[in-house]
Structures are given as structure tokens and as C-alpha cells.
Amino acid sequence: MIPPELFLITGQSLATGRAPAISTMAGLGAAARCLTGGPVGWNDRPVTLPARELSERGVETIASGFAAHLLAEGDLRAFIAGQAWVGQPYATLKKGGETGVFEAVISQTRLARQIEPDLQPGAILLLHGETDGALGTPDYDLLLEEWVAHLREDLGLAMGMGWTAPLLFCQTSSISGYDRGGGRSAFRTPLAQLHASERHPDMILVGPKYAYDYIDWAHIDAPSTRLHGEYFAKAYKGVRTGRGWHPLSPASISCRANRLHVEFRVPEPPLVLDTDTIPDPGWFGFHLSDPAASIRGIRIASATSLEIDLTAPPAPGSILSYALHNGVSGTSGRMTGARGCLRDSDATRSVFTGQAMPNWCVAFARAIPAHR
């Protein structure tokens, strides 16, 4: 029998789940298991022995979607565990933090190892960043690096082997949801998450969350949560099979007079400006921070690039951003939140609904180089 792989979910409320579960039973039989009270321990409520078939505890987590998509192809087995705490910043979730979440994840790993002696490292699945964004926490990318380093060290000891499995994490997309009129410049986590993934190939940014439907300013609904789990599984499959994974993201920006050329890293070309799935918030989500120039037009230039025409050559220090400076304050999601319309043409489909799963461009902000 193929050894099961261990997947550990941690973070804050998007990890614990918020919306009522679509179904408490994942229906995957012995191929996907979790601990009692799981799949993810909530706040100070731990998960415990015995192990059971994967099921949700009443709210939808990413576990069911992740496992179903992962196991749909190939002979795989998954053991899912984890602990998270609603509304908590990194400072309380880290190793030695007051919540004990870090230590609970390590303890659950030991329990899983007892149940499945041949258990292998799968991945850490992290859903976090909203509270640190709202708090204006600086250097969140460095905190992520510290978090991963501590997890790998202690998980390796708990497993009795080196933990070299990747971290998979999502980009926070509730910058407009947390904007109550005080501006957005201090909400740093989306860009910090992108920067961390660009520096560390084994810190895998799955993608943004603005393309989902939300139940409030920060939390996605149950169908979106399940789909989000499928996106995590899609990214993990790429890593597991050796193809690798990177989100749709900017690769370079060049400027000639009043025209920008933006080249992207595109998982599955060609690029698409999709205003059917996501209503256009204005210029497809792009924004120019410039005292004298503004965007005049945007078009797809090639399968992997856009051209953006400006009303004048950009001033030194101008910033091109995406999916940050639009949307209705106090809301998040594809209809009214901070968002964008740029996606690729990935043909992957949901194992539940058959809906398309294209990759949406991450939120970003890039300085525009001097024009020629």
C-alpha cells in the first residue's frame, strides 16, 4: 500500500473555516483521514485520537476540496491535521506564542505518525495574513520565513526524518475589506507574501483570493472554500510531479515614452481579461500612482504580456499596481472588493462542479523603470 502523505493546515479563521459545511463527510473513504475533532483544530480545541475518515466538523475548511482534488487522479493517500486560531497575528501563532497553535501542530504530527508509521511529509497549507495586514505588521515576509524554518525543524523531529516538504500559502485579498477609511498603504501582507514566494522556491504562493464569493469583509463562502482547497491541490500536484508551481505574476515592466510593456509569468497561456467572471473595477484592476499621468488604455500584447498606454510618460518613482486600489471599502471578493480581471487559460476543472479553475493574477505593486 502506498504510504500516506501528511498535510498540515494552520493559520487563522480561513484555516479553521467560517461558513457552514456543504457536507460533513468528504466521502473519500480510507484514502483520506483526519483526527477526531478535525480536520483542523479550532482555537483552543485540539484534535485527538482516534483517526477517522476525513470529515468536516460543521464548517467548511479547505480539507475536503484539497483531498478530493488531490485524490481524483492517481493512487494517493492523505492524512490531514492542523490547528488554527481565529483572528490571530503571527506573534501569537508562532513557536512559543500564547495560543499554543504551533505546538498543537507538532503534537498532531506525532499522533499521526503513531497511527501511520510509514507516514511521509506532504505539505504545510497556510491560510493567514489578514490580522497582520490590519495591524500594519512590518516585514511580514521575514516572519513567514521564520515561521517556516521553525515548522520544518520541529516537524522533522516529530516525523523522525527531515521535513523538506513545501509550504503552500495563499495571498490575502481582503485589503478593501479591512479598509474603513484609513487608507490601504499599511496593509502590507499581500505584497509581503508575494515577495517571500519570489525569494524562496519552496514557499509556494498558490494565488490570490479575490475571485471568490465572500460572506463578509474577510471570509469566503463554503463553495469558495471547497474550490480554494482544490486550488491548493492543483499547486501541490505541480510540485509533487516535478513540474513546479508559480502563480500568474508580473515578470518585468519596461517603459517606452508613454507606453508600458508588462511581461508575466503565466502558468497556462494565453492571458485573458475576463470581465464576465469578475466585473471590471476600472482598467481591469490596474492602477497607476503618478502625479501627472494616468492609464488611458490596456490591451493584451501577446500570450504572456500586456501593453498599457498612459496619458503621459510616467514620472520617476511611479508605481503600477494591480488588485489593490479599487473596490468598495468594507467588502471583499469578486463582485465589489479589491480585485482584477487578469487570468490565464488553465483548463483544470473542479472535481465537484466542473467549473473552470484558471489562475488569477496575484496582487502586486511594481516601480516603473525610467522610460526610454
Average pLDDT across the chain, whole number: 96
Cis before residue 291, ω within 30 degrees of 0? no
- Same domain? For 299 and 161 the reply is no
| Predicted pLDDT at 222 | 98
Q: Which three cell numbers stand for residue 351?
A: 472535481
For residue 180, pLDDT beyond 90: no
For residue 372, pLDDT beyond 70: no
Q: Are 88 and 42 in contact (CB under 8 A)?
A: no
CATH of the domain at 271: 2.60.40
3-state secondary structure (DSSP) of residue 18: coil
Interatomic CA distance for residues 177 and 365, integer angstroms: 19
Tell me the pTM. 0.97
Number of domains in the chain: 2
Confidence band for 24, pLDDT divided at 50, 70 and 90: confident
| Predicted pLDDT at 342 | 99
- Same domain? For 225 and 326 the reply is no
- Same domain? For 64 and 162 the reply is yes
Count the Cβ atoms, other than its own, within 10 Å of residue 344: 23
Domain assignment present for 359: yes
Q: What are phi and psi of 131, to 5 degrees?
A: -65, -45
Residue pLDDT, tens place only, 246-276: 999 999 999 999 999 999 999 999 999 999 9
Residue 336's nearest CA partner among 239, 165, 172, 217 is 217
Last residue of a domain, one of 188, 209, 240: 240
Report the percent of the chain where pLDDT is more than 90: 91
Confidence band for 175, pLDDT divided at 50, 70 and 90: very high
| Predicted pLDDT at 183 | 73
- Same domain? For 79 and 207 the reply is yes
Which residues, 6 or more positions from 182, have their beta carbon under 8 angstroms from its beta carbon? Answer: none
Domain assignment present for 372: no
Sheet of 295-302: strand order equals 249-256, 259-265, 305-310, 295-302
Q: Which of 25-29, 30-34, 128-132 is predicted least confidently?
A: 25-29
Confidence band for 22, pLDDT divided at 50, 70 and 90: very high
- Same domain? For 193 and 254 the reply is no
- Same domain? For 228 and 272 the reply is no
Which residues, 6 or more positions from 1, have their beta carbon under 8 angstroms from its beta carbon? Answer: 77
Count helices and strands in the chain by DSSP H and E runs = 8, 17
Confidence band for 225, pLDDT divided at 50, 70 and 90: very high
For residue 305, pLDDT beyond 90: yes
Task: Give burial (CB, 10 Å; 0-12/13-18/19+) of 37.
Answer: middle
Q: Which residue has the higher pLDDT, 131 or 161?
A: 131
Domain assignment present for 49: yes
Last residue of a domain, one of 209, 240, 271: 240
- Same domain? For 100 and 15 the reply is yes
Pairing of strands 249-256, 259-265: antiparallel
Sequence-ordered strand ranges (E) for the chain = 5-11, 32-36, 41-42, 48-53, 78-84, 120-127, 167-169, 203-205, 249-256, 259-265, 272-273, 286-289, 295-302, 305-310, 319-322, 342-343, 364-367
3-state secondary structure (DSSP) of residue 117: coil
- Same domain? For 329 and 218 the reply is no
Last residue of a domain, one of 219, 240, 261: 240
Residue 324 belongs to domain spanning: 249-367
Interatomic CA distance for residues 134 and 330, integer angstroms: 12
- Same domain? For 273 and 328 the reply is yes
For residue 181, pLDDT beyond 90: no
CATH of the domain at 43: 3.40.50.1110
- Same domain? For 174 and 93 the reply is yes
Report angle CA 202, 169, 250 to the nearest 5 degrees. 75
Pairing of strands 342-343, 272-273: antiparallel
Q: Are 146 and 105 in contact (CB under 8 A)?
A: no
- Same domain? For 81 and 182 the reply is yes
